[in-house]
Every structure is written in structure tokens, then in C-alpha cells.
Structure 1
């Protein structure tokens, strides 16, 4: 501690404003900067709030658009923070940390938006990434690290599992939310106790440590964003992903690195730029970067009109598609459906959704939980387990509404379907019994293979709307279970379907034969009608064994 001066060496004389010479006409630099920054901030406000309002009015895809609205809010927040920092030099630190903290949420929202462009929710995103192929190598410099640190066996190797790759990107992005907010709190507290000292890069003050930690965190987050973009540049080309990445990357780069560069150049230890008769120390330290940010935010607001357009979300707009996780499978992309406008009166509900950041908090918690599961036990993590998701809508249930609130739905789903159950034991979930003794369909094209990610309309379902109770005189048909649900392993599961009965109560390939044993608990017509009412009539497609 004795080697460094523990007193912040920026004096009040260095920071005085008012005695500078005129820079243009009757205006000093500070006065002229306020005029230019104010005009730029107004332009940024008008353009940004117009685009935000249009997204709120055409709120047909809430899962995507709430993240877009959050990203668009970054421009007016940055412009406001920079203008207030320029106006109130002495309190600039407090205004700057507001925009810096919001930057982390904007980056996280941008990553969440890209995730929703490949699949509508986290459940399907995990399904998608389980089947992701091929997984592209890491971009530089991590690919260099991999070559010199063990190659395919080293710690920098490309994951074999698409879900592992997804989770690495996930935690790499969301860690920045925590670190940036934590560093914001550190900056405010240390500034209050005069231990921040923005004018010094001495390690005895908090300023240099906050800069280093934030620089590492934002570099990791932006690297993960670029890696994700590299993976999906072609599949998501219709969404102008490159332009979106450019808009986010430039905002982060200019807001952070140009401020850091000016801070280092004007610090007392480096001292590359010095105050003079026309530029006071606050003009160099705060005024120039704040003025540049206000001008840049006006330009970015205009750029966002092309990078985050609202026209594609209007009712009747061009149809978009989700990409396929494996283009070589030949499965066509799945169509995105436009829902009704859900923004509420004047888009107020849409703005409320965007301002509620609880989903980002949960996403960070999920990433931390995955990170600390441990490499040896990571396969036991629930995110790697395909689990029954009985609330997921069946193919004809296009509304996407869950039936969990209906008592008959819960009872129907938890039925044993004729499976033995010990007295007093809780009833198993439907998928638990169906998977227990399932065997591959000899006539299936996916014999022993994982069924590719596809639209559920491409294969049939189990419920027969014309089935009647009674003995069966029809051949037994094997129907693949709809593997869109998160159930068990990725391999296809099968159960026996009898054309004469709604469900014969026995598993395909069971001990008593392939669906020929009399059911212990056959479905009657009333139960079949309840199933059809809950999940819709399903198309028939039978093939005799």
C-alpha cells in the first residue's frame, strides 16, 4: 500500500468549469455539447419510441417481441444517461452506471430473442439443441486454444452434445447480467466513500478493478453471441440476424470501449491528453464520451428501423419458419404462426411484459444451476432428461392453451391405461407406463434411430374418434408416440393401437404378445370422447404389422 498514493489526485481546481475560452461564437465546449447532445437525444427518443409503440400495437408474437422492445429501450436509456452525465458533470458516475447495468439486460434479451427464433419456448429449444447437427467449431481465439490445449480431449474442445453447447453459450451470456449489476453496485458504493476515483488507474482504487472485471465479462458475453450467430447465420438469414448482431455489438463496443479508452487517456497515470484553455478536465473525461454517445444513439435508433422491423409481426404478414436442427434430415422447417394482438390498449400490456425482467433472473439461475452440477454428474441434470410435458398442446390444439386447470384433463393424463399399480402407490404419469416396455416398430423407417425434429402433423396420434368399446376384430397397428414431448430418451417409443378399441391397455411387444392380450382397463367410448374433446380429433394412419 505504501508504494501507491492512496489519495485520489484529481483536485477541484482541475475540475472547475466556467472559465474556459469560447470554442464557437459565444459558446464554450460544455454549452455547445449540451445543444448538440440535446438535439441528438430528441431524435433518438422520437425514432425509438415510434418503433417500440409499433411493436406494442402489433404484439402478435410476445415471446419474441418483448425482447425486441427491451433492446429498443436501450437507445433512449443510453441517450438519457449520456445527456444527464454531460449536464451534471459532478454526478456523472451515478448516471453512467444506469446505462451500464441496462446494457447487460439488453444483451441477455438479444440472446433470448435469438433462442426464440429457433424454437418457441425453452422446452422446444432443448429438444432442438439435443438434435443440433452439425455443431460448428469455436471461432477464434478459442479454436486456437483448443489446438494447443489437448485438441478434442482438452477443456476447449467443441461439445459433442448440442444441449451442452447451448448451455455453455447460455451461461456465457447470462453471467454478464450478474457481473454487470454487481459492478454497478460496487461503483456506486465506492464512489460514495471516495474510493472509486475515476481519474486514477491505481490498483488501490476500485475504478481499475471494475473496468477489468467488466471488460472480461462483456468480452465473454459478446463472444458467445458471435458463436451463436456463427452457428445460425444461414438458418436465420430471413431474420436479418447479421444486422441485429451488428446493431447490438456496435452499441456495446462504442458505449464501453470508447469510454474506457478516453478514461485511460485522460487518467493521471497515463496522461496522454491534458486539459487546456478551451477544454476543462470534465470536458475530456465526461463531456466528449457523453456527447459521442448521444450522437451515436440517434444513429442507432435509425438503424433499428431496419434491424428490428415491426412489419413482419403485423397480422397477415409474410410467413416465417423455424429452422431445422439437422438440415441433412430432409425434414421441412416448421411454420411460425401469428397469434392475435396481445398488446392490450395502446400497447400497454406489451410494455408491461417487456419491463418485467423476472424471466432473465430465472434464466441466470438456470445457468448457474447447470454450471455447478459438475461434469461427472451433468447427465443427471434435468435439462438433459427428456421428461413428460403433459401440458404441451397436441397437434390440433393450435391455440397452445394448457388443460392443466381442468380436473378431467389431469385425471385422464394420469390414467394407468391398464398398467398394474400397487395399492396405495401414486398413479404414474401416462408416459411412465408407455415407455416401460416399448419396442421399435419393425415397419418403421426410424428403426433404432432417434426421430428427427419435425412438425407433429407428420405422424399420427393415438386417439381414434370412431373407436367403439368391445372385442377387437381388427389387426393391431403400431403408432409412434408423438416425441415432441420431453419424455425419456431421444429414441422413438411405440405403443399398440387396436382399431376396434380406443386403447388396448397393453404395451407393444409386451410379455403377452404384440398388443393381443385383453386389456385390464379398456377405454370406453365416453373416455375416448373426453380425450378427443381435450386434445382434438387426430388423423388416422394405420399400417398392419
Structure 2
């Protein structure tokens, strides 16, 4: 059975599967909302202002890290996580301005979330084990309690591999779903307001929720098992700084479904159909991202990477670290280059994501091969 045939099935041969929402959305209502502005124009202005504030705050965070790049492993990951905010709000603003493009745009915001969540996991790994070459050895020495068991344990490296896989699947799944969402929308099979099994919206939503749940459960379990190794970094605050946005959006989706099903929120002279199903929800997203951008500025402060700068150096292009052997400060130059140009170039290199995935996969593969060789060596001696 083909895709189109599946989604165009009739319920028992009786029910019409035509999408209940209009095929083309007209955003302007018949009456003005504030002064001479319709709600759509007012929404564009307010959402645009919020997007501008968010982008400015996040750019400040990223610029400060780029120009004070003393720990490239951690700070570049912070910059990559930070890109979620401007991309999220810009896509939301575009959805407000062009409601008919909403379905094509909203799927890609989930991809950004997935990539940011992956970088967050790798940032936590950096907090636990700063040196990549020591990571396999450290996790192999751990014994992690098995899920739903207080007595049984598993080795830490196998547990890390499982955690890594369940987090990595989220950006991969959301990427596939974003493509599927665009294709089914173009074919008239998606239906944003469709809750029936013959609309792709239901299945894409369910798969996305399951994928997100698996990723988040494993992230929280990683934090719970290893929080003693990274308390100084306040990882939970860092997670909440960008994942609460997603949590709130999910809660708001439920609220709007209830409002829509009860008829509480419906088109009127001042609110068009596009305003009720797209305009208001995206406006709320743009508004709530602003305080989280300031929280992100605080949670991912530059201070841990420049603590000794003022005390030990007079040139802001340099920072000082305490030598572990002598106990005296050692002055180093920041790695970002003029205005952090090297950090910006690394940030906008999409190959870094695949390079990190490949290097982590190689770490697990090499550790497994080393373990097998060690076991074979023991057997030969016996």
C-alpha cells in the first residue's frame, strides 16, 4: 500500500478524509486589533522585537565565548547549543509572517533542538572528563546501576554508548520527520488540524514525542548518575536554560488543542483562522524565549573561562591558568583569534557535527576491540 493510498483511506468507506482546515490561510482579519494594525501586523511587530532581543543577547554570549576561547572543547559546544535560540525565534517569526509556510518550517526547529541536545550531552562528557583520550578509560572504570534495579550494574562504557545512541537518534529522527512533514504537506496528506489516523500529522507527532522522550530520559539519567563529577558546572541549570523552552511549547500545544476542541479559541472579526492556530502560539514562543535567552546568558557564563584574566594579565587577549605542578599562574593566549574569528569559523562548519559523531563512534569501536584483544591475551596465557 503506497503512502498516498494509506493516508487517503476512508474510515470504513464512509468518512471523508478531507482536511478540516483551509488549504490556504489568509492572515488578515476584517477588523483592526490595535490602532490601525490587524492582529497579524501587531504580531509581526511584537514577535520581530522579541526575536531581535533574543538574537542580540545570544550573540553577546557567543561573541564573548569566541573572543575568550580558553577551552575550545567546551566553549565551541556552548556556542553550538546557543544557536538554537536565534534559529528557533527566526523560524517562529517567519511562521508568523508567512503562516502557509508554518508546516514546512516548524519541523526543522525540532532538528535544531535535536542537534543542540546532542551537543549538550557531549558538553556534559567534557565536564566529567576534560580530555577526550581519557574518556573511554574513565567510563570503563565505572559501574552504573541498571534501570529499575538497585543491585545489578553495568559497565560505564557500555552505558555511555547506549546513552549516546539514544540522544543521537533524536536529531536523526527529527531530520527524517522534517522531510516527511514537508513532503506530506505538499501532497495534502499532513493536515495540521487533523487528528485522525489517515493524516500524517498524528503519526509524525507521535514518533517525534517518543524520540524526544528517549533522548531526554537518557540525558537526565546521565546527569543523575554523574552529577557528583560535575556539580561545579551546574549542569541542570544549563539543561533547563534551553530545554524548558521545548517543555513549555509541548505544554502549550496541549492547552491549545483543548481550547480548539472546546471552541474557546476560534476565529473572530479581529482574529483570523491563521491567527488562532499559528499566530498566537508562535507569538507566545517568541515572547517566552526572551527570558530564557537571559537565563542562558547567566547559565553559560564566560566567567569560568576568564576567572584569572583580570587578576593575572593586563592584556585582554591573554588569560592565566594555575600550573598544576608549580601552583603559579601561567599566561596563555586565547585561541579564538581576532574577534574570535577562528571560533566563528568552527561554529559554522557543519562537518564538525559529523566529525564528532565519527570520533565518538571510533572511541567505542576501539575500546571494544581493545577489550577483545585483552580477553584473547588472557585466554592464551591460560
TM-score, normalising length from structure 2?
A: 0.81
Structure 1 residue 274, shift from structure 2 partner: 2.6
SS in 1 for 2:229: coil
Instruction: Indicate the structure with greater helix content.
Output: 2
Q: Which residue of 2 aligns with 1:361?
A: 354
SS of 1:276's partner is coil
Matched, 1:350 2:350: no
CA distance in 2 between counterparts of 1:488 and 1:338 reads 42
Secondary structure of 1:160's aligned partner: strand
Give me the whole-angstrom Cα distance separating, in 2, the residues matched to 1:188 and 1:128: 43
Give the aligned partner of residue 382 of structure 1.
366
Contact 2:91-2:106 at 8 Å conserved across structures: yes
CA gap of 1:257–1:362, structure 2 versus 1, over 3 A, is: farther
1:367-397 deviations in Å (ceiling 9; x for gaps): 8899xxxxxxx9xx5333448xxxxxxxxxx
The one of 7, 10, 19 aligned to 1:2 = 10
Could you tell me which residue of structure 1 aligns to residue 226 of structure 2?
A: 232
> Is contact 1:222–1:249 with CA below 8 Å preserved after alignment?
no
CA distance in 2, matches of 1:231, 1:245: 15
Give the distance between the partners of 1:19 and 1:32, measured in 2 at CA.
12
Counterpart of 1:496? none
Say whether residues 1:130 and 2:123 are aligned partners.
no
Distance 1:30 1:245 in 2: 33
Q: Partners of 2:17 and 2:360 in 1: how far apart?
A: 39
User: Which residues of structure 1 form unaligned runs of 5+?
Assistant: 153-157, 321-336, 371-377, 388-486, 490-545
Query: Does residue 1:284 correspond to 2:276, yes or no?
Result: yes
Query: Aligned partners of 2:30, 2:333: CA distance in 1, in Å?
Result: 59
How much does 1:346 deviate?
A: 1.6
SS of match in other structure, 1:275: coil
Structure 1 equivalent of residue 286 of structure 2: 294
CA distance in 2, matches of 1:56, 1:136: 39
2:316 aligned residue: none
1:220 to 205, 214, 220: 214
1:314 paired with 2:306, answer yes
1:258 maps to which residue?
Answer: 252
- Residue 44 of structure 2 corresponds to which residue in structure 1? 34
The equivalent residue for 2:162 is 168
CA drift of 1:24 comes to 3.2
Structure 1 residues 359 and 231: CA distance shift in structure 2, 3 A: farther
Q: Deviations over 1:307-334 (max 9, x none)?
A: 10112212735969xxxxxxxxxxxxxx
| Equivalent residue, structure 1, for 2:173 | 179
Question: Unpaired runs of 5+ in structure 2?
Answer: 1-8, 310-319, 323-329, 376-382
Write the distance in 2 (CA, Å) between the matches of 1:49 and 1:164: 38
Say which of 48, 51, 66 aligns to 1:56.
Answer: 66
Shift of 1:195: 1.4
State the SS of the aligned residue for 1:301. Answer: helix
- TM-score (ref. length: structure 1): 0.58
- Secondary structure at 1:34's aligned position in 2? helix
Number of equivalences: 349
What's 1:242 paired with? 236
- In structure 2, relative to structure 1, the CA distance for the partners of 1:245 and 1:306 (3 Å cut) is same
- 170-179 vs 235-244, greater mean Cα deviation: 235-244
Q: What do you get for the CA RMSD once the two structures are aligned?
A: 3.2
1:315-334 pair list within 5 angstroms = 316=308
Correspondent of 1:47 among 53, 57, 82: 57
User: Aligned with 1:234: secondary structure?
Assistant: helix
Structure with the larger RCO, 1 or 2 (CA within 8 Å, 6+ apart): 2
User: 2:75 aligns to what?
Assistant: 65
* 1:57–1:346 CA contact under 8 A, matched in 2: yes
Offset at 1:168? Answer: 1.4
- Closer, same or farther: CA 271–219 of 1 in aligned 2, 3 Å: farther
Where does residue 341 of structure 1 map in the other structure?
334
Judged with a 3 Å threshold, the aligned counterparts in structure 2 of structure 1 residues 199 and 339 are, in CA distance, closer, same or farther, namely farther
Q: Give the equivalent residue in structure 2 for 1:190.
A: 184
Shift of the 306–17 alpha-carbon distance from structure 1 to 2, 3 Å rule, reads: closer
Q: How far off its partner does 1:360 sit?
A: 3.1
Once the two structures are superposed, residues 408-430 of structure 1 have per-residue CA deviations (whole angstroms, 9 ceiling, x without a partner) of xxxxxxxxxxxxxxxxxxxxxxx
CA distance in 1, matches of 2:41, 2:288: 19
Map 1:81-92; keep pairs closer than 5 Å. Answer: 81-92=91-102
1:365 Cα offset (Å): 6.0
Q: Deviations over 1:71-129 (max 9, x none)?
A: 11111111111111111111112222332211111110111111111113443111111
Contact 2:74–2:126 at 8 Å: present in 1 too? yes
Distance 1:273 1:343 in 2: 50
Aligned: 1:108 with 2:118: yes
Q: For residues 286 and 73 of structure 1, what CA distance do their matches in structure 2 show?
A: 23
- The answer to which of 123-132 and 68-77 deviates more is 123-132
| CA gap 1:347/1:363 in 2 versus in 1, 3 angstroms | closer
Larger Rg: 1
